[in-house]
A and B are shown apart, each in its own frame.
Chain A
């Protein structure tokens, strides 16, 4: 049996992924299509020397979204030996639009009709034999979910060698056909062959009556968001994070013991344990919460509820050049920017993904909260809640403004229209969900990991070496500390020109949690009680406010940076975004300071 490449193409939401999983089992490789942030999946078909390439779900080959470009160029430039087209029996008319385009590629093709069981439930039917005669290619009814007829499908794939025949109805297939003509051809093809039954299945109808209900829809959606948030960033998620931290600690000790026994030098030990493992371990402690987030997103997407959420929320986002789908990643941004940036992958349009990812850091992440609490307790104890809430709102407002300003033409005239399918509700498969989860987690660890590890190692080195490359444990004379001292005067116009503040802000680049811990060790030698008093000495109400605003807005932590850089597609875009944010932070803190001085003159 010869080796073959098979391209798997079909509409979104037609069970393509389920079919892919069924055909390839555990042997899959995930990556990206070159040049775009579109996921590419490839796998070997079980028991055959065939490579199955999962093309992105598309409705057509000739529009301009990155997904469609990818599919079109794959078929044109690196044509597979065979095309497997999966279509949804309950929406056959629209699905055949892509099928006709695929047949035009003049490659051997097999059509698999999925969801026939659902079609039957809706009271419809389809005659695959006659359809096959008319299309000139094998048409096999299957159920990807239950595995029905997969054997028959594989046999058809084995035998498929010839180019699509010219069936009786298929005489004038050419690329210049208008969409209307194509649908006319589809009508002819399906005449007498297809009865769609009820347009919507009963379960979907009933659920949507509740979930998109005028009064219930938004509260329900917000509840779902709240549930997600509480599980990921509340007690369950935090408990898992703490467990992961314990685990990381244990590994740290184990590593130390291992290196001791191997007789490694003291600096090698420190480098590996405090430097590299601290970085890697720190990132891995994110993993439980990331996995929970991916799980939720998977379930929302595969069940079909995500589309309803976007539908309900869309109105609010239209003015920002975004659509309702951006709601979820942005809300997650209030917990942690890093997983939220990954959640932005659910946005289909690349432009929207980029806008959302760039807006995310303005949505104040959870790690900054300790800083807010500390400073408001020290200077504004009576209006803590109000102030912190105000900070969050300020972040969102400035985020929207900044993105509008720098989004350019893309924001004013959306490049692609909002036209979203609301798929029928479906129960996600266990295997599919787990597989999805595994892929996403692996992706996060691999890509974000390398950047975080190298950055952490670098920062650790600069914290322990002086410029003359002597070892030190004193922060003030290390490279890191010295840089802090150089930067300090820059912050004087903002009211906090001390080297301790600068170093703490630098430390915040590693992780926002480090801002408070740095301050604690630099100002108060680790004495928590003394910290408040020390801050009250070192800052004034006005400078406290400007510091808070700066922390709110300046560049996010390394982990977030690594993820954002990846989502934006390059170092240039990533660094520009960071620089832009920091500039906004500086300007905003400056204004806040000057205005605050009017109320609290030093």
Chain B
């Protein structure tokens, strides 16, 4: 099961599989610790829906949805079941 980071429900923890982005953005993300195999969790969403706060390596990072869409992740364990089912429908 593969999802992009922006599709993760709040509170769900995942493992980063790949960053499909090699420009400055991708490099920046990797420098900040978003690398293959790292644990990442979507913590909050801004009131207007964008950006969201993700916890990575002990820091809170704000990432825009359009940028998070480039990050492929695999959920660690389903802790927010309802969220996933709804998301499947959206696709």
Q: Which residues of A contact B (CB under 8 A)?
A: 59-60, 63-64, 90-94, 97, 178-180, 183, 196, 199-200, 208, 212-215, 217-218, 307, 310-312, 314-316, 318, 415-423
A314 touching B51 in the complex, CB below 8 Å, given contacts A94-B58, A420-B62, A421-B61: yes
Chain B residues with Cβ below 8 Å from A212 are 44, 46-47, 53
Chain A residues with Cβ below 8 Å from B64 are 314, 318, 417-418
Give the contacts of B18-35 with A (CB-CB under 8 A). 24-25, 27-33, 35
Q: Would you call B78 an interface residue if the criterion is a C-beta within 8 Å of the partner chain's C-beta atoms?
A: no
A94 touching B62 in the complex, CB below 8 Å, given contacts A179-B27, A212-B46: no
Q: In the bound complex, what is the Cα–Cα distance between A517 and B65 (angstroms)?
A: 51
Chain A residues with Cβ below 8 Å from B36 are 180
Chain B residues with Cβ below 8 Å from A93 are 33, 57-58
Q: Would you call B82 an interface residue if the criterion is a C-beta within 8 Å of the partner chain's C-beta atoms?
A: no
6 more A-B contacts (CB under 8 A) besides A63-B31, A178-B30, A419-B61?
Answer: A90-B58, A91-B58, A180-B30, A312-B46, A315-B50, A419-B67
Between A and B, 21 residue pairs with Cβ closer than 8 Å are: A59-B31, A59-B32, A63-B28, A90-B58, A91-B57, A91-B58, A91-B59, A93-B58, A94-B59, A183-B35, A212-B44, A315-B46, A315-B51, A318-B50, A416-B28, A417-B28, A417-B29, A418-B62, A419-B62, A421-B59, A421-B60
| B41 vs chain A, min Cβ distance (A) | 8
Interface of B is mostly: mixed
Interchain residue pairs A-B with the least CB separation, the first 9 = A179-B30, A315-B48, A417-B25, A422-B60, A93-B57, A91-B58, A60-B31, A420-B62, A94-B33
| A409 vs chain B, min Cβ distance (A) | 14
| B23 vs chain A, min Cβ distance (A) | 8
| B88 vs chain A, min Cβ distance (A) | 24
Q: Do A419 and B48 have beta carbons less than 8 Å apart?
A: no
Q: Would you call B38 an interface residue if the criterion is a C-beta within 8 Å of the partner chain's C-beta atoms?
A: yes
Q: In the bound complex, what is the Cα–Cα distance between A208 and B60 (angstroms)?
A: 11
Q: Do A315 and B49 have beta carbons less than 8 Å apart?
A: yes
Q: Would you call B63 an interface residue if the criterion is a C-beta within 8 Å of the partner chain's C-beta atoms?
A: yes
Chain B residues with Cβ below 8 Å from A421 are 32, 59-62
Q: Would you call B15 an interface residue if the criterion is a C-beta within 8 Å of the partner chain's C-beta atoms?
A: no
Q: Do B47 and A214 have beta carbons less than 8 Å apart?
A: yes
**Which residue in chain B gives the minimum CB-CB distance to A214?**
B47
Q: In the bound complex, what is the Cα–Cα distance between A64 and B27 (angstroms)?
A: 10
Chain B interface residue bracket vs A: 20 to 34
Q: In the bound complex, what is the Cα–Cα distance between A183 and B29 (angstroms)?
A: 12
A200 touching B50 in the complex, CB below 8 Å, given contacts A63-B24, A212-B44, A417-B24: no
Chain B residues with Cβ below 8 Å from A420 are 61-62
Q: In the bound complex, what is the Cα–Cα distance between A252 and B29 (angstroms)?
A: 57
Q: Would you call B69 an interface residue if the criterion is a C-beta within 8 Å of the partner chain's C-beta atoms?
A: no
Q: In the bound complex, what is the Cα–Cα distance between A322 and B7 (angstroms)?
A: 24
Q: In the bound complex, what is the Cα–Cα distance between A422 and B59 (angstroms)?
A: 8
**Which residue in chain B gives the minimum CB-CB distance to A13?**
B59
A63 touching B27 in the complex, CB below 8 Å, given contacts A311-B46, A315-B46: yes
Chain A residues with Cβ below 8 Å from B32 are 59, 94, 419, 421
Q: Do A316 and B48 have beta carbons less than 8 Å apart?
A: yes
Chain B residues with Cβ below 8 Å from A307 are 62
Q: In the bound complex, what is the Cα–Cα distance between A208 and B25 (angstroms)?
A: 26
Chain B residues with Cβ below 8 Å from A92 are 58
Q: Do B47 and A312 have beta carbons less than 8 Å apart?
A: yes
Chain A residues with Cβ below 8 Å from B61 are 419-422
**A419 is contacted by which of B28, B50, B55 (Cβ under 8 Å)?**
B28
**Which residue in chain B gives the minimum CB-CB distance to A119?**
B58
